[in-house]
Structure 1
Amino acid sequence: MMTSIEELNSWLKTLKMELVNSCMKSLWPRTKETNTPVTFRLIRATNMTVSALRFMKTFRAGLLEPEVFHLNPAKSDTALFKNIIRFVPSSLSWYGAYMVNAYPLDMSQYYRLFNSTRIPKAVRDELLTEDSGKHLLVMRNGHFYTFDVIDRDGRITKASEIQAHFKYILSDLRPPPDFSLGYLTSENRDTWTVLRQRLLEAGNTQVLNKIDSAVFCICLDDITIKDHFQLSHNMLHGNGLNRWYDKSFSIILTKDGSAAVNFEHSWGDGVAVLRLLNEVFRDTIQRPAISPTMLPAAVDSFQTVQKLEFKLDDVLKSGIESAKAQFNASVSTLSIDALEFKKGGKEFLKKQNLSPDAVAQLSFQMGFLRQYGKTVATYESCSTAAFKHGRTETIRPATIYTKKCCEAFVKDPSTHSISDLQTMLGECSKYHGQLTREAAMAQGFDRHLFALCYLSKSKGMSLPELFQDPSYIQINHNILSTSTLSSPAVHLGGFAPVVPDGFGVGYGVHDHWIGYNVSSYPARDVKEFLKCVHKSLDDIFDVLEGRPISS
């Protein structure tokens, strides 16, 4: 059985490797016609739903172009190469891309984006994908609603009808239910397994199937976002009332139109979800399904929209109450803070011949050393989707180069010349780039060792000494768990720490600034950590600009 913090991590860290919540920027400016919370949210919910469905249909029709990983973008990420490869037969095009170190990314995970749910089971969960489902799941105020968004001929339901159904749901003013089932998906998985079986035995098979097979979930939250603290907490975990954390992904929309995606991690990684985000963002801008002046269709939503009702006995009610109490206790211990460093970003760092990601990672090492006087195990995710069925490999950003550089900057900067410090930064960047390339090409060690450890346990073997070694245990207790996310569609992303005494570091290096969204439990001080990271960035940029480090 997991502890409460470990269980919290089983769904709060869902996106430890890529992203848990991606808060999408406004897809169009507010106008006089949309300048009310209900209208703006209604239009945005409709457009995002239709764009997500367009993405789904494009993928299922085999028309979605793959992302490409370029090891040598100067040769392969060019209009000339793309025009040439377009005329090469599909059976040979992969080899042509391979010859210039361009790798189309695996798309097998995309299958689990839609109509998918994680089902709690004894020993281990199962992934269910029921792609015959044609309905959308909508949650509001702890209530569950469904309506079809794909018609009998496989076409997307008219946008004005989807708009009408959303309007109908938003007009439902009933209070939250006394017992909201959403809390159960935040429970310990073994406990949830038992309670789900009891739900089935109590006569809830049909409604659970409706939830599980829905194309995806839209969560309409009746709050207005005031600042980034509230934004991060709401999109990462919310109040537990209005979520079904087992769905493959959920689009969350607040009263003021703030939008995010929260996704369950077991089925896939951020590559697929970020592609969905980017495509939805682009599609809603370039060809929105409805405009601010369009009215909902005159349809009978009362007959079309189904409100799901559950049969609960005393055991189930008690289980929901217990899950709610544990949820509230767990999330109350989570702190999140953010930082925007505005002195420079990707463009400046590239002019210095430095990897932007390497500099961001160095700022974490330097910041932690400044705050705690030591370096610790650090995790950075790297996609291996260049391989068939590729998931992720680990980059280990804490190296002998970062240790040397951090100690020079933090402990005795006055004993080093600006030129020496610049050289150290270059060494860190060069080695980090090497580690990144090795991880992306499946040359890391973490996943290989994990697989060996898992196999030894699954076969009932005694655990080999390697996996009992204190060094192996320490390197897998990742105090700094980090993941980057940079996209025009995303304002910020974040996730919870993966260990009780750790930091969950979401970051993005943009053209002219660097953003951080960091979480911690009470064992760590996230505000002080970000102050130390900011000071580290100040020092790095001062050195790069030829100025001595200020005290």
Structure 2
Amino acid sequence: MHYQDSLPRLPIPKLEDTIRRYLNAQKPLLDDGQFRKTEQFCKSFENGIGKELHKQLVAQDKQNKHTSYISGPWFDMYLSARDSVVLNFNPFMAFNPDPKSEYNNQLTRATNMTVSAIRFLKTLRAGLLEPEVFHLNPAKSDTDTFKRLIRFVPSSLSWYGAYLVNAYPLDMSQYFRLFNSTRLPKPSRDELFTDDKARHLLVLRKGNFYIFDVLDQDGNIVSPSEIQAHLKYILSDGSPAPEFPLAYLTSENRDIWAELRQKLLSSGNEEGLRKVDSAVFCLCLDDFPIKDLIHLSHNMLHGDGTNRWFDKSFNLIIAKDGSAAVHFEHSWGDGVAVLRFFNEVFKDSTQTPAITPQSQPATTDSTDAVRKLNFKLSDALKTGITAAKEKFDATMKTLTIDCLQFQRGGKEFLKKQKLSPDAVAQLAFQMAFLRQYGLTVATYESCSTAAFKHGRTETIRPASIYTKRCSEAFVREPSKHSAGELQQMMAECSKYHGQLTKEAAMGQGFDRHLFALRYLAAAKGIILPEFYLDPAYGQINHNVLSTSTLSSPAVNLGGFAPVVSDGFGIGYAVHDNWIGCNVSSYPGRNAQEFLQCVEKALEDMFDALEGKSIKS
């Protein structure tokens, strides 16, 4: 946390910049007539109520220097949403297998990952976790010498020291909610609960709940062989699955769940729920192996609803064959914080594992140390669980997931061509959607603003006039253009995408600013400005293509559901020599066909880059 005090504040963009960027993003989505109307809405907003709201936002921000202008409204947006957290908000990241195959045994991996997670917690709480830093020039700043020097710079100035060598320390304020935390359902707005005094782990297996301590009274990690013994005991417990699995309730509409939670509390389950909510984290042990990547995605994104506590800050899921993932609740934090934890757990559990496959569990009395939680269920609760199960099963049936591994090349090849790998992936999605549906649609790519105090995310808008022109050339009339012309168009797209990415990371997008102005108007009881009633505003925020990228040596793949019923949820990664893409859809769209179009787009672009003509 060395840099936390000196992090720069998230800037509020100038209103005219926001309007200009907004109009640029609208251009590829509207015809001339619609665009002119939207320009009018923008003009009157910028010179009227928008100007006034912007002034108030800036003044309010000056009064709240300890945070960012987006932090409060963003928490509010997540916590006030009443939709189920499953599919609508919670994503997952799946781990690569342990390179030493015998370490993928379920008990061995569960023990090692649990110990590594607790080691991370201990390092974090001791204030010894190395600060998260984004290095633009790693050769200069990601070095032991730099780390030794920066220690002597007082924390109020340390950010500037890092900035001088092109290293950007990242905000770490979200980390304290990683452990011992749960989102509690409440009528109209949920609450985040954290109890960092609790020392127990919650384990789910077959829908049954177990707890045991993983830290002793002095805060030391319980010995790995004891943790192994307790997990072995849970894995061999013959208790049948409960007739009414409580976990289904965490997948309900938040108001319904809030009401049922009150019933749970008044039926004498306070202590049990308190143990669930305060647990260090939730470890889910599944009793079946994972068949393939599609099964992996379905299981880690939603599973069958009985063996996850979806409200927990994160669930660490480990299947029978050792396939593992982190499934996390999104209101408390963003991908950056979770990815750091994820990477450290993978590295620690594979490089310095606490136990080996030959290790013997401690001879300890697990019947005493492990406690099974039992919940008293009234008829109303049983009815509630049954209804939640029916809703859950029906919803999950509608979700399709498919994935693609494009083996022809990745980062290395694209960088040689002086193209941004991310821009090429995004261009492929634009071409694919155009080929499949004949349209250019609202597209969302998340970008972290963690370089600022209490930054969250900003949106990159990958659909531009450049991607539209380039996609139309590739999809509709490739024979009309030489490979050189197609390369030129790709270069334009890449350059513009690079600019958008840089702006977004620096807090210079338009989405969060417009969101904050709208939120402020509502908070002040001001009637919603006309600008927000423009159908084009509604359309650009109906993100048919919702995309997010993660790359790390620890991640096998990640994924999330579409954010609208007629959309795609696209998790992707451009690796050194291949490109991976994991896509979800509901019945209104065809994920498999979309991926065929993505593959065609990538083949075409690689052909053009190699100077070959495009096959129609």
Give the C-alpha shift of residue 98 in structure 1: 2.0
Tell me, yes or no, if structure 1 residue 397 matches structure 2 residue 462.
Answer: yes
In the alignment, which residue of structure 2 is the partner of 1:10?
85
Name the CA distance, whole Å, in 1 between partners of 2:613 and 2:520: 53
Task: For residues 129-177 of structure 1, give each alpha carbon's deviation from its aligned partner in whole angstroms, at most 9, with x where no partner exists.
Answer: 1000100000000000000000011100000000000000001122210
**1:79-98 counterparts in 2 under 5 A?**
81-82=146-147, 84-98=149-163
Match of 2:353 in 1: 288
Match of 1:218 in 2: 283
What is the match of residue 54 of structure 1?
119
- 2:495 aligned with 1:430, yes or no? yes
Match of 2:59 in 1: none
| Matched AA of 2:546 | S
State the Cα distance separating 1:458 from its structure 2 match: 3.0
1:296-315 CA-to-partner distances (Å, cap 9, x unmatched) read 00011011101001111110
Q: Which residue, 504, 507, 517 being the options, matches 1:442?
A: 507
State the number of aligned residues: 536
8 Å Cα contact 1:9/1:498 also seen in 2: no
Other structure's SS at 2:614 match: coil
Partner AA of 1:94 in structure 2: W
Query: Structure 2 residue aligned with 1:367, among 423, 426, 432?
Result: 432
Indicate whether 1:193 and 2:258 are aligned.
yes
Using the alignment, how far apart are the partners of 1:464 and 1:70 within structure 2? 41
Secondary structure of the residue aligned to 1:477 is coil
Q: CA separation of 1:437/1:389 partners in 2, compared to 1, >3 Å: closer, same or farther? A: same
Which residues of 2 match residues 70-469 of structure 1 at below 5 A?
70-71=135-136, 76-77=141-142, 81-82=146-147, 84-469=149-534
Say which of 7, 16, 25 aligns to 2:96. 25
Q: How far off is 1:79 after superposition?
A: 6.4
1:362 positional shift? 0.5
Residues 158/74 of structure 1: CA separation in 2 closer, same or farther (3 Å cut)? closer
Encode CA deviations 1:466-519: one digit per residue, 9 max, x unaligned.
111111100000000000011111101000000000000000110000000000
Q: Deviations over 1:15-45 (max 9, x none)?
A: 4xxxx211111224234xx6xx8xx100100
Amino acid at match of 1:27: D
| Alpha-carbon separation, structure 1, partners of 2:482 and 2:555 | 39
Following superposition, the deviation at residue 101 of structure 1 comes to 3.6
Deviation string, structure 1 residues 337-384 (Cα, Å, up to 9, x no partner): 000000000111111111111100110001000000010000000000
Give 1:86 deviation, angstroms.
4.8
Match of 1:218, SS state, is strand
Contact 2:200–2:215 (CA<8 Å) still a contact in 1? Answer: yes
Bigger Cα displacement from structure 2, 84-93 vs 490-499: 84-93
- Quick one: distance in 2 between partners of 1:79 and 1:244? 41
User: What is the CA–CA distance in structure 1 between the aligned matches of 2:301 and 2:364, rounded to whole Å?
Assistant: 35
Return the letter of the residue paired with 1:509.
V
AA matched with 1:12 = L
The equivalent residue for 2:543 is 478
Q: CA deviation at 1:446?
A: 0.5
TM-score normalized by structure 1?
0.95
Is the 2:422–2:574 Cα contact (8 Å) retained in structure 1?
A: yes
**Percent of aligned pairs with the same residue?**
69
Query: 62-71 vs 418-427, which deviates more?
Result: 62-71
Do the aligned partners of residues 78 and 163 (structure 1) sit closer, same or farther apart at CA in structure 2, a change above 3 Å counting? Answer: closer
2-side partners of 1:334 and 1:105: how far apart?
35
Q: Which residue of 2 aligns with 1:3?
A: none
Letter in 2 for 1:513: W
Work out the CA distance in 2 between the residues paired with 1:419 and 1:366: 18
Report the CA distance between 1:90 and its aligned residue: 3.7
Give the letter for the 1:314 counterpart. Answer: D
Secondary structure in 2 aligned to 1:10? coil
Contact 1:220 / 1:252 at 8 angstroms: preserved in 2? yes
Q: Identify if the C-alpha distance between structure 1 residues 81 and 154 changes in structure 2 by more than 3 Å, giving closer, same or farther.
A: closer
Q: CA deviation at 1:99?
A: 2.8
Structure 1 residues 162 and 481, CA gap change in structure 2 (3 angstroms): same
CA displacement 1:96-119 (0-9 Å, x = unmatched): 122344210000100000000000
CA deviation map 1:197-253 (0-9, x unaligned) = 111111110000000000000000111111111111000000001111000001001
Distance in 1 between the 2:331 and 2:397 partners? 25
Q: Secondary structure at the match of 2:375?
A: coil
Deviates more, 1:280-289 or 1:262-271: 280-289
- TM (norm. structure 2) is 0.85
Give yes or no for contact 2:204–2:210 (8 Å, CA) kept in 1. Answer: yes
Aligned residue for 1:510? 575
How far, CA to CA, are the matches of 1:207 and 1:82 in structure 2? 45
Distance change (3 Å), C-alpha of 1:459 and 1:122 = farther
Where in structure 2 are there 5+ consecutive unaligned residues?
1-80
| Structure 1 unaligned regions, length at least 5 | 1-5
Cα deviation per residue 1:388-444 (whole Å; 9 max; x = unaligned)?
111100000001110111011111111111111111111111110110111011011
- For 1:28 and 1:73, the matched residues in 2 are separated by 27
Aligned in 2, Cα 1:26/1:205: closer, same or farther, shift over 3 Å? Answer: same
Question: Please, which of 508, 524, 545 is the counterpart of residue 610 of structure 2?
Answer: 545
Q: 1:22–1:493: 8 Å Cα contact kept in structure 2?
A: yes
